[in-house]
Chains A and B, each alone.
Chain A
Amino acid sequence: MKEIFNKILNSWTRFFFEPNSPATLGLYRIVFGFVIFLSNLGHFPSRDIFYGENAIVRFHTVDAIFPRVHPWLFFRWVPLTEPALEYYFIALLIITLMFVLGIFTRLSTVLLFLGIISLSNRNPYNENAGDTLIRVNLFFLIFTNCGAAYSLDRFIKVKQGLAPIKLEPISPWVQRLLQMQIAYVYLNTVYLKLPGITWQNGTAMYYALNYLELRRFNLRFLFYNIWLIKLATYSVLLGESAIGLLIWFRYLRYWILGFALCLHEGINLAMQFPVFQYAMMAGLIIFVYPQDVEIFVAKVFRKTSLSAQPA
């Protein structure tokens, strides 16, 4: 019994704490930060519609969601009137850029999380899965130094001789939490879909593709008849389960990542979910092995520096 317990403990320690290169986290920070930037930029022109004084949901209407404590304790910090609201968004965009570039990365991650959660708590009805994923992943990123790779912070430290050129390994527990979060998205959605009659009889994709408010490019010809619709419905269930479960196996990981990328790009073309699909596609990066990220980045830099040289 003690042996089994020790084995579990060792596996736990190895999985969460065995130091690893921060390359994956660094690349994820850049791509994920860019998705957040797009999302915040998309909110900017409609800020008064959803967050202003006379917004479609007013500040006091949201009180019902939160316990009766001071609004500041629940990060309800978004100003209601112009020009303060405009300045808030401009500041949020600047902080997002700092996060992408890795300038004061720890501080910018915390500030970005506070800015995003304040937006969410000001109007939680202007949200979907994309906003949830951004918020949750940012929360986890607070607890690690995601600027330990590919950041200006590190670049300056290396220039000053305060850090070695080779990336220093860090404890990967936050990366593991992010991986678990992404896998949970797929498994939870399958779990919630399984009791549905349309998912059981194979017609769910027919109704999903009919959502008028989600339509983008008309790809319904790909699901021409009832058999193709059934095939697509069961493939979604099977595919999402496979992503959540099989992605943990080393020899299947890149195949699964490729499949997941195609799935999200397919949804992105057929439906209006820009931010959620981008956030999920960015989330797949977190599963790429750091050694491969380092090789990839080194290749990109080599190509860039070669193309910059005169012929």
Chain B
Amino acid sequence: MRHCYSFFVTLRQKFISTFIIFNVLAILIAPVKTVKDQNLIQKPFYYYALWTRLLQRWNLFAPDPRKDATYYRVEVTFNDFSQYMWRRPYPTNWGFFYRHLCYNWQKYDLAVTHMEYPQFWDDIVNFIAHQDFITKPIKRIRLSKMKSPWPPPKLEGYAFTEVKDLIWQDVTVFVYDFENKKYL
């Protein structure tokens, strides 16, 4: 009886050990390259890590932090040529929910600078079109990226440059024409 018990304990330990090794390998191997370049050994780990969402890369500020200040803004032009400027909320108010609302937007901004990728543009246009400030028919929507490089740290004295001293550049990401339903 005792022998039987220890057999099952060992079997259970073997099974768990295999599970541990498999998961550790999935975490280490799966994110190495994109799936297109992965070989036959990596693929099952990748799909397992995608399914369980164990896929992970701890790459904030890596390999280098971003060297420019950026933010996005949306310029909505209505049919009567009046305009509305929309920006996602920024963390100036320290209330719990407002801070988390900003935090969620910040995650969206940081993850892959989505707003610049064409596959997200339809969603952005649709999102803006459903906001409360849209009270009149829209003529067009322009998404722009405001960008300014941070000067390198000063070698003498106080090293930082203040935001007010930055020179901003307005770069158009897309313009969507609502009348013709196409990007200009």
Is B64 touching A197 in the complex (CB atoms < 8 A)? yes
Q: Which of B95-145 contact A (CB under 8 A)?
A: 96-97, 99-104, 106-112, 114, 119-120, 122-124, 126-127, 130
Is B61 touching A58 in the complex (CB atoms < 8 A)? no
A-B Cβ contacts below 8 A, count: 189
Is A203 touching B152 in the complex (CB atoms < 8 A)? yes
Is A139 touching B52 in the complex (CB atoms < 8 A)? yes
Interface size, A (range): 35 or more
Q: How far is the CB of A176 from chain B (nearest CB, A)?
A: 8
Identify which of A224-232, A282-290, A298-306 touches chain B. Answer: A224-232
Determine the chain A residues whose CB is within 8 A of the CB of B19 once the complex forms.
143
Determine the chain A residues whose CB is within 8 A of the CB of B8 once the complex forms.
none
Q: Which of A173-232 contact B (CB under 8 A)?
A: 173, 177, 180-181, 184-185, 188-189, 192-199, 203-204, 206-216, 220, 223-226, 228-229
> How far is it, in angstroms, between the C-alpha of A293 and the C-alpha of B104 when the chains are bound?
34
Is A229 touching B159 in the complex (CB atoms < 8 A)? yes
Q: Interface digits, A263-285 against B, CB 8 Å rule (1 contact, 0 not)?
A: 00000000011110000000000
Q: How many residues of B contact A (CB 8 A)?
A: 66
Determine the chain A residues whose CB is within 8 A of the CB of B65 once the complex forms.
198, 204, 207-208, 210-211
Determine the chain A residues whose CB is within 8 A of the CB of B103 once the complex forms.
42, 272-275
Determine the chain A residues whose CB is within 8 A of the CB of B156 once the complex forms.
225
Determine the chain A residues whose CB is within 8 A of the CB of B63 once the complex forms.
192-197, 199
> How far is it, in angstroms, between the C-alpha of A121 and the C-alpha of B27 when the chains are bound?
18
Q: Interface digits, A77-116 against B, CB 8 Å rule (1 contact, 0 not)?
A: 0000000000000000000000000000000000000000
Tell me the interface secondary structure of chain A in the complex.
helix
Which of A57, A136, A197, A203 lies in contact with B123, CB distance below 8 A?
A: A57
Q: Interface digits, A35-59 against B, CB 8 Å rule (1 contact, 0 not)?
A: 0000001110110011000111110
Which of B67, B110, B160, B163 has most chain A Cβ within 10 Å?
B160
Q: How far is the CB of A126 from chain B (nearest CB, A)?
A: 5
Determine the chain B residues whose CB is within 8 A of the CB of A177 once the complex forms.
20, 23
Determine the chain A residues whose CB is within 8 A of the CB of B122 once the complex forms.
58, 61
Is A136 touching B53 in the complex (CB atoms < 8 A)? yes
> How far is it, in angstroms, between the C-alpha of A228 and the C-alpha of B158 when the chains are bound?
10
Contacts A/B (CB < 8 Å), 8 sampled: A17-B13, A42-B103, A139-B53, A192-B58, A193-B62, A204-B65, A212-B90, A229-B153
